[in-house]
Chain A
Amino acid sequence: MLLQQLINGIALGSTYALIALGYTMVYGIITLINFAHGEIFMAGAFVGLFLVTVLKFNVFLAMAGAMIFCMIMGVVIELIAYRPLRKSSRLSALISAIGVSIFLSTLALMVFGADAKGFPDTAFPVQQVKILGAEISTLQLLIIGVSALLMLALEFIVQKTKIGKAMRATSEDYNTAALMGINVNRIISFTFALGSSLAAAGGVLVGLLFNAVSFNMGLMAGLKAFSAAVLGGIGSIPGAMLGGLLLGVAEVMGVAAGYSSYRDAIAFAILVLVLLVKPTGLLGQKIQKKV
C-alpha cells in the first residue's frame, strides 16, 4: 500500500519537477518568476491533444510536436513581454508576467471552451503491472521514464555543452557573462525554449495521467511547480527535481491520509513552512545582497 502510494506520488511529482525546471532555470538567469509558465504547460497539453485527436499522431510524436510549439511560444513571450522590461523594476516584470498568464488562459477558454477534454483511450493503452504487490499502470511507468529521460538530457545540456556552460555563466553573473562575449539575449531565449519544452512534455503527460485538459489547468499546476522549485531551492536544477518529487509524494500521501479536500492547500502549506525555516530552499545557495 505504501509502495503503491509512493509510486503514485513519484509519477505525479515527476510532472511537477518537469514544470518546476522551467521556473528555476528562468529565475536562475533573470530572477523573474515566469508566471506564464503554467500557461505554457497548458498550451503544451492542448497541442498534444490536438495532434493526437485531430492529426492522429502517436503519443510520442505528439509530445515532440508540443515541445517544439511551446519552445517557440516561450521565446516569443519573452521577446514581447519580458525583454522590454529587463531594465525596469522586478515588480513591473512580475506584473507583466501575470498579465501574460491571464491573457493566455482566457485565450484558451475562448478557443477550446470551458469543459475539460480527455485523450482518447487508444492514445496510450494502459495496462496494470504488479510489482511487489503494488498495482502500477504502464502510464505511470511512461511518465516516470519520460521525465527521467528529459531530466538527464537537460542535465547533459547544462553541464556538458558549450551553450550550457554559457547558461551557467549567465546565471552566475549576467553582466560579466556579457563582457566575456556571451550573447546573453540568445542564452535567455534558449533558456526559455528549454524550460518551455519541458513544460510542454509535462502538459502532455499530465493530460494523459488525469485524462483531462482544460484552460485553467495551468494555474494550479504552475503554482505547485513553483512551490516545488522554491522548496528545492530556486535557481538550482537538482533542487527543482527533488522539490517536485517531494511535493508529489506529500500530496498523494496527504490525500491517502484522508485530507483530500485540502489537496491543493498541502503544497502551499509546505511552501510557506519551508520559506519560513529555510528561505533558500533545500538545495539553494544563499545569495548575499550587495549595495
Chain B
Amino acid sequence: MGALQSIVAMVDPYVLQILVNIGIAIVLALGLNVITGITGQLSLGHAAFMSIGAFTSALITIKLGLPFGLNLLLSGIIAAAIGAAIGYPILRLTGDYLAICTLGFAEIVKVVFLNLDITNRALGLTVPPPKSPIPMPFYVWGVAILSIVFVCFMKESRFGRALKAIRDDEIAAEAMGINITRYKIQSFAIGSFLAGVGGGLYAHFLNYINPSDFGFLKSVDILSMMVLGGLGSIAGTVFGASVLAAAPEFLRFMAQYRMLVYGGLLVFMMVFRPNGLLGGVNFTDLVLRAIGRKPATAEINERHNKG
C-alpha cells in the first residue's frame, strides 16, 4: 500500500482532485444511464439516491467505523433498496409522470434530510476520513472501472436486452413476455445502487455533505453528462462525465454561468444530435475491427445493405 501512497504523492494535488471528480461523476452518470439511457425511464431524482448513499456512508463511518469497501457496498444497497421501494409504485407510471414523481421524491428526500437530527439538519455533516489502506483516488477509480465493466456486461446480457426492449417499445416488450414492472424496478435499483456508491465516494472525498447540495441542479448535472455523451452509450457516458466534471475547472472564469451552458447544451444536443456525441457508435465493433476480427453484427449489416 505504501507504493500507492507514493504514487498519489507524486501527482499534482490539483490534477488529482479533477481526476477524482471525474471518477465519481462516471459512477453517478453510469447509474443514471442504466435507468434513463438503457431502460428509457427518465429520472430527475438521481441526486436523491446519491444523497441517500452519501448520508448512509457518512453515518456508517461516524457511528460504526466499518471498512470503506463494506461501507460503500452497504450505502449502495440501502440506496438500491429505497430505489426499489419507491420504484415499485411509481414505475407503473409512464414517462412524463415518472419524471415528475422522481423529481418530487427527490425534493421530499431533501426536505426530510434537512429536518432530521441524525443528518445534522441544515448544517450538514462533516465526514471523517474513510477507514481504508488504499488512497482515495485509487479507490474512486477502482470503483469507476468496476462500474464500467459491470454496466458493459449487463447491457449485453439477457437482462440488458430486456431493458432495451422496454425502452424501444413497452407494449411490444410486454407482448414478448417481458415482465415490464419487474425489469424496470431492477434497473431502477441498479441505477440507485450506483448513485448510492457514488454518493458515498463523494461524501468521503469532500469530507462535508449538506442536503442542499443534492438538489434538482445536481440531478441536471448528471443528466447533462449522460446526454452529452449519448443516451444509452457507456463510452459516451464516460466521455460526457469526464468532460463535464473537468469543465468547471477550465471554465472557472465563468463558473457562475456553467448552468447557462448546460441548459443551452441540453437543447442543442436534443435538436441537433439527439443520440449524443458518441451515440450510435459501437465501440465493441470498433475494437474488434481494429484487431482484425469481424464483429458479430457484421453479417446482419451486410445482409441489410444488400437488401
Contacts and interface: CB of A to CB of B under 8 A. Distances in A.
Interface of A: 27, 31-33, 80-81, 84-85, 88-96, 98-107, 109-110, 219, 223, 226-227, 230, 261-262, 264-265, 267-269, 271-272, 275-276, 279, 289, 291
Interface string B75-90: 0000000000000011
B111 A261 contact: yes
Q: Is the interface of B mostly helix, strand, loop or mixed?
A: helix
Contact of A99 (B100, B101, B264): B264
A289 to B, nearest CB: 7
Contacts of A219: 216
Contacts of B103: 223
A103 B270 contact: no
B291 interface: no
Contact of A96 (B105, B112, B266): B266
Contacts of A268: 104-105, 107-108
A96 to B, nearest CB: 4
A219 B262 CA distance: 16
Contacts of A264: 107, 111
Given A90-B95, A96-B270, A262-B111, A107 B260 contact: yes
Nearest to B103: A223
Nearest 3 pairs of A and B residues by beta carbon:
A99-B266, A103-B263, A268-B104
Given A95-B269, A99-B263, A272-B90, 18 more contacts: A95-B270, A99-B267, A100-B267, A102-B262, A103-B264, A103-B267, A106-B257, A110-B256, A226-B100, A230-B100, A262-B115, A265-B107, A265-B112, A268-B108, A272-B104, A275-B101, A276-B90, A291-B171
Nearest to B175: A291
Contacts of B114: 261
Contacts, number: 129
A226 to B, nearest CB: 6
Contacts of A279: 92-93, 97
A84 B115 CA distance: 44
Contacts of B90: 272, 275-276
Given A33-B99, A94-B96, A269 B259 contact: no
A106 B220 CA distance: 13
Interface residues of B, number: 46
Contacts of B97: 230, 275, 279
Nearest to A88: B274
B145 interface: no
A105 B215 CA distance: 15
Contact of A271 (B104, B216, B227, B271): B104
Contacts of B257: 106, 110
Contacts of A271: 100-101, 104
